[in-house]
Amino acid sequence: MVEAKRRRHIVRFALVLVGLVTVPAAVPAQSSEFLDRILAEDELRLGSALYLAITASYALQDQGYDLDVIPSLRRVQRRVGLDSEAPITLGQYAFILQVFFDLPSGVFSRLIPGPRYATRDLAHADIIRGRAYPAMPLSGRRGLRIIGRALAYIEGDL
């Protein structure tokens, strides 16, 4: 029974992974429409957050940064889950960005990785500005601003 349940989780994870990796690569013309949809979201969805992170990490790989998407997705899946339509919190988004882009992490983030300390670390690095409570809802507009500052931090502009 446990083995069948584990297999279903692995199959579901593989399907989400294939969808997240192939869809953005297959339809670049629709990316502006997708960004408009993300901007209109009152609460950022997990699928949208992963789309932003994967797209940005591929853009950074093209610039010569060494980022590996698959292990990052596995780490995020363990902490955040796989429901692409579920709204995520600021803490979960901070954790996704910290994992995908290897952003700065403090002692507690290394000992107990998760949304709480990821939020603190990114707020300290000035990637997250304003209120920074891990459990607070996150709009699509704020999510895009945060990922923009994360990319600026990586490139040394922040």
Q: Write out the chain in H/E/C secondary structure.
A: CHHHHHHHHHHHHHHHHHHHHHHHHHCHHHHHHHHHHHHHCCCCEHHHHHHHHHHHHHHHHHCCCCCCHHHHHHHHHHHHCCCCCCECEHHHHHHHHHHHHCCCCCHHHHHCCCHHHHHHHHHHCCCCCCCCCCCCECCHHHHHHHHHHHHHHHCCCC
- What is the structure's pLDDT at 119? 92
Tokens of 54: 């994967």
How far apart, in whole angstroms, are the C-alpha atoms of residue 77 and residue 73? 6
- What is the structure's pLDDT at 137? 92
How far apart, in whole angstroms, are the C-alpha atoms of residue 94 and residue 66? 20
- What is the structure's pLDDT at 65? 60
- What is the structure's pLDDT at 7? 57
- What is the structure's pLDDT at 27? 46
Tokens of 19: 């969808």
- What is the structure's pLDDT at 12? 52
pTM over 0.85: no
- What is the structure's pLDDT at 142? 92
Chunked mean pLDDT (size 10), the chain, 158 residues? 58 50 50 79 85 76 60 65 80 87 81 87 92 91 90 82
- What is the structure's pLDDT at 126? 92
- What is the structure's pLDDT at 120? 93
Domain limits, the chain: 2-154
Please report where in the chains the tokens 């300290």 appear, as a residue: 124
